[in-house]
Structure 1
Amino acid sequence: MTSTTSDRDQIVERLADLAAALDRRDWDAVGAMFVPSATGYRRTGRDEIVATVRAHLGGCGPSQHLLGNHRVEIHGDEARSLTYARVHHQGKGTAEGRAYECFGEYEDRWTRTPAGWRITSRAFTISYDLGDFAVLQPG
């Protein structure tokens, strides 16, 4: 990012990068979004976070993480973001033809690093879901 890009814009772009990495199943890019000691998805540590996400999306068909209504608070080198999400997952293999969709909100805590903003903690609260959760499976 250029120095003219605001901290808020940088964080919103990082959120979009993470959503795209999840949908591409780019596990290295997913891990790079978190500091090594991050917490998220009820796990501690970047490797555990990636393993947990991979266990849900690795064997799933296509997915799309749609993000919106970004609220970002910056406090020096720390930040908090709240982001609405609508996530659609298609089944594959034995789950082909089925789908699972959830609506919710991500709450992320951020820290500024020499490499840019990175997530220190992530929580996703589902407010509504429909379909077959079983389409989420390890690859």
Structure 2
Amino acid sequence: MNHDLRTLADRAELNDLLLHMGRALDEHTFDDLNDVLTPDATGSTRNGSGTGRDILIAQIEAGNKDHTRLLHRFSSVLIKVDGDTATIRAYITALTGTAESLVPTSRRYGLMRDKAVRTPDGWRISELRVEPVFVVDEDTVGA
């Protein structure tokens, strides 16, 4: 494992990409994902697969815009840098809910496997892959 200053700085910037993504989702500022994804990004989420940043942002927005309360958390983040490319593996927890209640209406857990590239504007995600692992809808708990 390489721990030189450049690699550590790259890993910090790549980790920040995840934080910016989570903030954009939670705060419904989906246009901010333009600063996270490459223009030609590909991806698959629970809302489908697509190619192109605009298509991916539309899919992400469609899956999140109707939830007043959102909370996305990334954990067990593993980042591997190889020159101007990188891979990011992380667990993602997503809670959704309504303004009327502090109790989530659903909990989703997934595994994120992303690829990133260094661009003139910094690191950007070029491939976004979210694999669902568990989904818990509050009305089905105990059913």
For the aligned pair, the TM-score class normalised by the smaller chain equals 0.7 to 0.9
Structure 1: unaligned runs, 5 residues or longer: 134-139
Matched, 1:88 2:95: yes
Tell me what 1:47 maps to.
Answer: 54
CA displacement at 1:132 relative to structure 2 = 6.1
Matched, 1:59 2:66: yes
Tell me what 2:26 maps to.
Answer: 23
**Residues 57-99 of structure 1, C-alpha deviations (whole Å, 9 max, x = no match):** 1111211001111101111000000011111011469xxx761
- Are 1:36 and 1:46, in contact at CA under 8 Å, matched by a contact in 2? yes
Tell me what 1:105 maps to.
Answer: 111
CA displacement at 1:32 relative to structure 2 = 2.1
Distance in structure 2 (CA, Å) of the matches to 1:92 and 1:53: 20
- Are 1:38 and 1:119, in contact at CA under 8 Å, matched by a contact in 2? yes
- Give the letter aligned to residue 39 of structure 1: T
Distance in structure 2 (CA, Å) of the matches to 1:82 and 1:99: 26
TM-score, length basis structure 1: 0.84
CA displacement at 1:126 relative to structure 2 = 1.2
Matched, 1:13 2:20: no
TM-score, length basis structure 2: 0.82
Between stretches 124-133 and 29-38, larger displacement belongs to: 124-133
Tell me what 2:3 maps to.
Answer: none
Query: Size of the alignment, in residue pairs?
Result: 129
Tell me what 1:137 maps to.
Answer: none
C-alpha change, 1:98 and 1:14, in structure 2 (3 Å) is closer
CA RMSD of aligned residues (A): 2.2
Matched, 1:124 2:130: yes
Distance in structure 2 (CA, Å) of the matches to 1:98 and 1:21: 19
User: Which runs of 4 or more aligned residues in structure 1 lie more than 2 Å from their structure 2 counterparts after TM superposition?
Assistant: none
CA displacement at 1:113 relative to structure 2 = 0.6
Tell me what 2:76 maps to.
Answer: 69
- Are 1:61 and 1:90, in contact at CA under 8 Å, matched by a contact in 2? yes
Identity of matched residues, %: 25
